[in-house]
Amino acid sequence: MTNARITLVRDFTLGEVPRRLFGSFVEHMGRCVYTGIFEPGHPEADEKGFRQDVLKLVKELGPTVVRYPGGNFVSGYNWEDGVGPVDKRPRRLDGAWHTVESNAFGLHEFVDWSRLAGTEIMEAVNLGTRGVDAARELVEYSNHPGGTYLSDLRKQNGSAEPFDIKLWCLGNELDGPWQIGHKTAHEYGRLAQEAGKAMRFVDPDIELVAVGSSHSSMPTFGEWEHTVLTHAYDEVDYVSLHAYYQEDDGDVKSFLATAVDMDYFIESVVSTVDAVRAAGKHSKHVNLSFDEWNVWYQRGLDTDDQPHNVSKGWREHPRLIEDAYNVTDAIVVGTLLNSLLRHGDRVKIANQAQLVNVIAPIRSEENGPAWRQSIFWPFARMAELARGQILRASVDSDKYESAKFGDVDVVDVSATWDEDNGRVALFVANRGLDEPADVDVSLSGFVVGRVSRAEVLRVPNGKDRFATNTLEGGEQVGLSPLTGVTVTGSRLRFTLPALCWAVIEVEVTRA
Ligand code: AHR
């Protein structure tokens, strides 16, 4: 049996839960938009072509903010192609994913869909092939009330009211040689500075995200953020981070510990950002936007569903990277969410990539059903329950050795306290492959009442960590009640099965 002691102290908090941490991402890639959220003619589609079965699952998942329209796609995209009468919109080659873009879905459709989903929009501008002018014009088209050519064009295209988009990404992954319009840090830093300035001249209330490193092992990591922010610190509010993880060569112990890498990545970017703040004698803080993260199995380029498989020709919304997630992946996703929440004093936005079909918690079939993947569950529960204050957790857990990260805590946790509804929520993972974990939680400064929720990710068929939810097999992986949670005074005790993710919520008042 593994042992873990967790101490939570009522006044030992990290600040308010940034609700934008539970963001997602819709890119014009593969089947995320087409046959994902949008499929005119599907039996469940409404009159605008939005799939109601998918929308229902999106609402259940509960993302707060959705980034759009890319990703690599945005670096070659003309936003003007996606507005105006649909039959007049141009069909274009999308070089990022070697596909054909019909432009049947564009900005107005995304705004309408976001309203139905109840999600905030995070709009990315093209700083790959385009620049300052297209970026400021898109802000004017979206946010200016009227009386100018672009704002009146928006009205003519059906939206009398401005879209009022607050959150804007200044391009995507421009540090990556794979990006259309890849730039050096100096080139990008100056462009972000000037584009940001011009966008804010149009709407001073917007928030801007500068492109950071595409992952922490980029050769330019650190130097990129330093140079970009040295140019653009005054203009931007956030710098981005992207990271994707997978189980390599059966090294499940390192895979289960990937939140350690996310911790390292976040803490390194915070240090770099703050070094630029000090050197530039800036008073404001630039925060972090982890606007792409997930598990992603990057297979060989000759695999059918891989991007850039040019031998397949120019296809329209082909199946691309539709990973089927298993129980282990869901546990890793739970720990990545824990890492984000534990850094909620500086990470203010995070977007799981992507929302539907493309490395996504929700899957859908063309003219067929939609369903939840295993990774749906930690996201859905944390998006629902992580509210109020982030509690700093002091964890004393047994450890295990991993090849990539050395000694790692077997039990991983994050916790929140919502004084308004009188609840403490704990999100815990047992990374142990074989042993259950006995967890003893001290809640100092609280009077602990009833256990209002206790659920554990169900591992079907005994211990099959590779179980997935599929079209044929249905939703095998889901949540079950976690039994045996006991409260004694201000102590909470429970046993986690081997290899699991769980949520426990208790009623509390101030002691
Ligand atoms: O989410 C898939 C792709 O991964 C995005 O388009 C890109 O930004 C990243 O490399």
Show me where the domains of the chain are located: 2-10+389-510, 63-323
3-state secondary structure of 134: helix
Residues in CB range of 286: below 8 A, 6 or more apart? 229, 233, 236, 237, 238, 239, 273, 276, 277
Query: Are the beta carbons of 457 and 477 closer than 8 angstroms?
Result: yes
The pLDDT, as a whole number, for residue 245 is 96
Q: Region 136-159: what's the mean pLDDT? A: 98
**208 alpha carbon to ligand 1 midpoint, in Å?**
19
Q: What is the 369 CA–ligand 1 centroid distance (Å)?
A: 26
The pLDDT confidence band at residue 139, using thresholds 50, 70 and 90, is very high
User: 25 CA to middle of ligand 1, Å?
Assistant: 10
Higher pLDDT, 500 or 298: 500
Q: Each residue of 88-117: pLDDT tens digit?
A: 999 999 999 999 999 999 999 999 999 999
Average pLDDT over residues 309-328: 90
Q: Is the pLDDT of residue 275 over 70?
A: yes
Q: Is 181 in the pocket of ligand 1 (CB under 6 A)?
A: no
User: Atom 9 in ligand 1: which residue has the minimum CA distance?
Assistant: 71
Whether ligand 1 lies within 6 angstroms of the CB of 172 is answered as yes
Q: Any idea what DSSP says for residue 225? A: H
CA nearest ligand 1 atom 5, residue:
71
Asked whether 388 lines ligand 1 (CB < 6 A), one says no
* pLDDT reported for residue 391: 98
Mean pLDDT value across residues 330-359: 98
The pLDDT of residue 461 is 67
Q: How far apart are alpha carbons 482 and 341 in whole angstroms?
A: 23
CA atoms within 13 A on the CB side of 148: 13
Active site residues: 173, 292
Least confident of 262-271, 296-305, 393-402: 296-305
* Burial tier of 315 (Cβ tally within 10 Å: 0-12, 13-18, 19+): middle
Please state the atom number of ligand 1 nearest to the C-alpha of residue 172: 8
Least reliable range by pLDDT among 145-159, 295-309, 400-414? 295-309
* The residue to which tokens 């369903």 are assigned: 371
Q: Give the pLDDT mean for 255-281.
A: 98
Closest-lying ligand 1 atom to the alpha carbon of residue 353 = 1
The whole-angstrom separation of Cα 486 and Cα 416 is 19
**Cα dihedral angle (204, 206, 212, 215), rounded to 10 degrees?**
180
Q: Using the predicted structure, report yes or no on whether residue 269 has a pLDDT greater than 70.
A: yes
Which residue has a Cα nearest atom 4 of ligand 1? 71
For residue 436, CA distances in Å to 17, 38, 266, 396, 431 come to 30, 43, 30, 16, 10
Do 2 and 432 meet the contact criterion of CB atoms below 8 Å apart? yes
Which band of pLDDT confidence, cut at 50, 70 and 90, is reported for residue 310?
confident
Contact 416, 339 (CB under 8 A): no
The Cα-based distances of 251 to 363, 369, 374, 404 in angstroms read 27, 34, 20, 9
> What is the atom index within ligand 1 of the atom nearest the CA of 244?
4
* Residue 354 beta carbon below 6 angstroms from any ligand 1 atom: yes
Q: What ligand 1 atom has the least distance to the C-alpha of 96?
A: 6
Q: What is the share, in percent, of the chain residues with pLDDT greater than 90?
A: 95
**Is pLDDT of 307 > 80?**
no
- The yes-or-no verdict on residue 298 having pLDDT over 60 is yes
Q: Taking CA 246 as the corner, what is the angle to CA 244 and CA 247, rounded to the nearest 5 degrees?
A: 160
Per-residue pLDDT for 66 more than 70? yes
Residue 146 has pLDDT above 90, yes or no: yes
Q: Return the pLDDT at 312.
A: 80
H runs (alpha helix) in 343-490: 376-385
The per-residue pLDDT for 20 is 98
Span 63-323 CATH architecture: Alpha-Beta Barrel (3.20)
Query: Which is the closest atom of ligand 1 to the Cα of 354?
Result: 1
Q: State the distance from the centre of ligand 1 to the C-alpha of 511, rounded, in angstroms.
A: 47
Dihedral sign, Cα of residue 374, residue 379, residue 384, residue 390: positive
Q: Does residue 353's CB lie within 6 angstroms of at least one atom of ligand 1?
A: yes
Q: Write down the pLDDT at residue 97.
A: 93
Predicted local confidence at residue 459, as pLDDT: 75
Residue pointed to by tokens 């450890």: 399
**pLDDT tens, residue by residue, 173-207:** 999 999 999 999 999 999 999 999 999 999 999 99
Torsion angle in degrees (nearest 10) through CA of 35, 37, 43, 47: -120
> Which phi-psi region, left, alpha or beta, contains residue 256 (left: φ > 0; alpha: ψ -120 to 50)?
alpha
**CA-to-CA distance for 99 and 93, rounded, in angstroms?**
6
351 Cβ inside 6 Å of ligand 1 = no
What's domain 2-10+389-510's architecture?
Sandwich (2.60)
Question: Mean pLDDT across the stretch 161-175?
Answer: 98
Sheet holding 99-101, edge to edge: 92-94, 99-101, 315-316
Confirm or reject: Cβ of 432 under 6 Å from ligand 1: no
Residue among 207, 179, 187 nearest 131 (CA): 187
Task: Say whether pLDDT at 228 is over 90.
Answer: yes
Query: What mean pLDDT is reported for the chain?
Result: 96
| Whether residue 75 has its Cβ less than 6 Å from ligand 1 | no
Residues 365-390, mean pLDDT to the nearest whole number: 98
What is the 350 CA–ligand 1 centroid distance (Å)?
14
Report the nearest-CA residue for atom 7 of ligand 1: 71
Number of H helices, E strands in the chain: 10, 25
pLDDT for the residue 300: 61
Residue whose Cα lies nearest atom 1 of ligand 1: it is 353
Residues 6+ apart with CB under 8 A from 276: 225, 226, 229, 230, 233, 282, 286
Pairing of strands 65-68, 120-124: parallel
Please determine, for residue 311, whether its predicted confidence score (pLDDT) is greater than 80.
no
pLDDT digits (tens, 9 = 90+) for 441-468: 999 999 999 999 999 997 776 668 999 9
For the chain, the straight-line distance linking the first and the last C-alpha, in angstroms and rounded, comes to: 32
* CA-derived radius of gyration, the chain: 23
> Which residue, among 71, 62, 106, has the nearest Cα to 354 in the 3D structure?
71
Considering only CA atoms, which of 411, 441, 450 is closest in space to residue 428?
411
User: In the prediction, which pLDDT does 308 show?
Assistant: 67
Residues 47-67: what's their mean pLDDT?
98
| Predicted pLDDT of residue 250 | 85
